[in-house]
């Protein structure tokens, strides 16, 4: 889906840009499945230096998340930085460097992992989301319910009894 061709970088002998745009299947996120709204753009520049291919790039797109407070689904913009290094046909003792055999390097898994790491642990549709009423489930962003005004403060409950009219009407 997102495939670099390292032979192009060698041939050009200078930083080489690779742009990809693709629709990604839903990801299994920390808080359920995360689906994409529209395509994902991957823009990278690969430079060959010191025997390594240095990749710098960004991943951008939009995912649909469910708000942790009000449960509404909303569009969350993504902007993730990519920084990878590759060596070809040999191994190096460096966990930051990926060893590849081919000229063709598939970035799909790298892109997926970088998106997963960038997802918020607790998504909110907006910072000041007021969530749901615990009594009636009303979405409080859309207006107040009257649960709170109906609920009698326990400290005043005795007082309410005191003012209740006598059911028999006589003392
Ligand atoms: Zn919300
Ligand atoms: Zn309510």
Q: Find out whether 1 and 41 touch, Cβ atoms under 8 Å.
A: no
What CA–CA distance (Å, rounded) separates 80 from 120? 12
110 & 46 share domain: yes
Ligand 2 center from residue 165 Cα (angstroms): 28
What is the number of structural domains in the chain? 2
105 & 80 share domain: yes
- The reply to whether 13 falls in a domain is yes
114 & 159 share domain: no
Ligand 1 center from residue 69 Cα (angstroms): 5
Q: What is the pLDDT of residues 147-167, one digit of tens each?
A: 866 555 555 555 555 555 555
Nearby residues for ligand 1 (ion, Cβ within 5 Å): 67, 69-70, 125, 129
17 & 82 share domain: yes
Q: Which ligand is nearest to the CA of 142?
A: 1
- Residues 114-152, buried b or exposed e (16+ Cβ, 10 A)? bbeeebeeebbbeeebebbeeeeebbebeeebeeeeeee
13 & 82 share domain: yes
What CA–CA distance (Å, rounded) separates 53 from 56? 10
- The reply to whether 170 falls in a domain is no
17 & 88 share domain: yes
81 & 43 share domain: yes
Q: Find out whether 79 and 58 touch, Cβ atoms under 8 Å.
A: yes
Domain that holds residue 160: 130-165
Ligand 1 center from residue 16 Cα (angstroms): 42
The residue from 118, 140, 156 where one domain ends is 118
Name the stretches of the chain with pLDDT < 70: 148-171
152 & 80 share domain: no
13 & 49 share domain: yes
Q: Find out whether 115 and 78 touch, Cβ atoms under 8 Å.
A: yes
Q: Which ligand is nearest to the CA of 143?
A: 2
**Cβ atoms within 10 Å, residue 4:** 24
100 & 36 share domain: yes
Q: Which ligand is nearest to the CA of 68?
A: 1
138 & 105 share domain: no
């Amino acid at each position: 889906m997102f495939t670099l061709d390292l032979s192009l970088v060698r041939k050009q002998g200078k930083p080489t840009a690779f742009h990809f745009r693709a629709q990604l299947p839903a990801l299994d996120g920390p808080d359920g499945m995360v689906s994409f709204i529209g395509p994902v753009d991957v823009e990278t520049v690969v430079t060959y230096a010191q025997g390594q291919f240095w990749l710098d790039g960004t991943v951008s797109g939009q995912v649909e998340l469910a708000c942790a407070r009000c449960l509404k689904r909303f569009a969350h913009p993504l902007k993730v930085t990519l920084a990878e290094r590759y060596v070809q046909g040999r191994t190096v003792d460096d966990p930051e460097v990926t060893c590849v055999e081919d000229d063709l390097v598939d970035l799909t898994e790298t892109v997926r992992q970088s998106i997963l790491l960038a997802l918020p642990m607790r998504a909110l549709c907006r910072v000041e989301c007021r969530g749901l009423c615990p009594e009636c489930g009303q979405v409080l962003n859309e207006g107040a319910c009257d649960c709170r005004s109906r609920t009698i403060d326990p400290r005043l409950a005795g007082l309410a009894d005191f003012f209740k009219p006598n059911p028999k009407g006589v003392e």
